[in-house]
Structure 1
């Protein structure tokens, strides 16, 4: 999975950048929205950076925003979804069948101690 795909919000702006161009980020740390994803490189590219990539690596498969369903989920989004809402320093790893709740180890100790739990996996 690509590592620098992250959500960001520019200060003073209402624009949310859901994926950041890795090439721009490598060159000058500018948070430019990505418009393409390269499957082989596992990197995101803006409209400007995709041209040199396409010329150098013509056989690579790239997906534009119209095919965003083929892009990987952002690591920051995955980390956010796996983090407990109550205990921010713990990851969710179990399911309480009785309460129909996803739980972290601290939730289990605090609220689900005497309930049968199932290990939960995102993968």
Structure 2
């Protein structure tokens, strides 16, 4: 994937998106453009030859970040368990209406009767599907807000 989150060595700086060509050269440069056709991120220096070479491509700048994919850091934040660092949420507890990882299951939700794998928790029927869609839209709005705040 082109989106790379990284910390500079010896620094507290954080890149939400790294320039794809620079990353291939082991350079950490912040991306300021995203090309949807190439699925690559570009710094200012790398975007110039890209737009000259691919005249029909229109990279999106930071002002159009709603058209950028969710950064790896944001995706990791959403997929990781808040209570157990490094664990990925894989289950949904219907009793508590919470996402949980395997450690959460053992520590908190072992007695719950409504534990399902997330893939199995997708409801049947159009009413439930509408509720799921609304929930997904709410989550997407939160992700976009988090991304814009970065």
TM-score > 0.5, shorter chain as reference: yes
Residues 12 and 75 of structure 1, relative CA distance in 2, 3 Å threshold: closer
Aligned residue pairs, count:
120
Residues 13 and 88 of structure 1, relative CA distance in 2, 3 Å threshold: closer
Residues 14 and 107 of structure 1, relative CA distance in 2, 3 Å threshold: closer
Structure 2 residue 35 is matched with structure 1 residue 62: no
| Counterpart for residue 99 of structure 2 | 102
Structure 2 residue 3 is matched with structure 1 residue 5: yes
TM-score of the aligned structures, taking structure 2 as reference length: 0.67
TM alignment of 1:73-88, pairs within 5 A:
73-88=70-85
TM-score of the aligned structures, taking structure 1 as reference length: 0.80
Structure 2 residue 108 is matched with structure 1 residue 111: yes
Question: Larger RCO: Structure 1 or Structure 2 (Cα < 8 Å, ≥ 6 residues apart)?
Answer: 1
User: 1:76 & 1:13 partners in 2: Cα distance?
Assistant: 17
Q: Counting helix residues as a fraction of each chain, which structure ranks higher?
A: 2
Residue ranges of structure 2 left out of the alignment (5+ in a row): 120-135, 137-150
Runs (4 or more) in structure 1 with deviation over 4 Å come to 11-14
| Counterpart for residue 53 of structure 1 | 50
